Amino acid sequence: MVKTKLAILGLGSRSTSFYLKRLNNIYNKKNGGYSTCPFLLLNANFDVINSLLPAVSEKLDAAVSYYINQIKNLNIDYLLIPNITLHETIDRLNISQNILHPVHLSIAKIKENRWEKVVLFGSLFSMKSDYIKNQFKENGIEVLLPNEKDMVFIDEIRKRIYNESETDDLVKKYHSIIQKYTEINPVILSCTELSILKPTDNKMLLDMAEIQMETAVKQV
């Protein structure tokens, strides 16, 4: 039997479903036929983890470690976690598997594209915190933010997508804000919910979730 190399930690229902469907799409496009991406899924009780996000804490470390320790027993090479914010906690833990880390992978892609300045879209917490910005800065990448009004809206559409309560008008406005900022600089999506309903025809838009999944398919 061929070894399964990839494990996924299932988290929020809609974001995890999005990852699973997109992984299968990318894998099938690469391999053809009826091929689907081979992986093992460990579905966490996201209510426990989400109640402790977004700030890092010892309680959050313990909650995530509980599931990570189960994955360690699966003899898996690569681990994909469909929540960008949670990677700040992942960085604090001693994990033996190779993490398909959205921030590290995005930095490599930005350098490949020779972009020196990017606009960060994410949750309000992620946009205002230093976690992503400091790592980009350490790699010579300047991070810009949307204006305050747009940041509030981006966070609102994120919440609406998570709750599956978005409207066509809200999605159109979300796309128009992306278009506005990508006319000047590349935009980086650092939130899975924002990835779910992103526009698909903008070459100046870099999606951390998509980079994770494309890398995962290369490894399996």
For the stretch 22-81, pLDDT in tens is 999 999 999 999 999 999 999 999 999 999 999 999 999 999 999 999 998 888 999 999
Tell me what the pLDDT averaged over the chain comes to: 95
Domain 6-101+213-219 fold = Rossmann fold (3.40.50)
Which residue ranges in the chain fall short of pLDDT 50? none
Domain with CATH 3.40.50.1860 in the chain: 6-101+213-219, 103-208
154 within 8 A of 174, measured Cβ to Cβ: yes
Predicted TM-score (pTM) of the model is 0.94
DSSP 118: E
Task: Name the CATH code of domain 103-208 (choices 3.40.50.620, 3.40.605.10, 1.20.150.20, 3.40.50.1860).
Answer: 3.40.50.1860
Q: Three-state SS string across 130-179, please?
A: CHHHHHHHHCCCEEECCCHHHHHHHHHHHHHHHCCCCCHHHHHHHHHHHH
Query: How high is the pLDDT of residue 14?
Result: 95
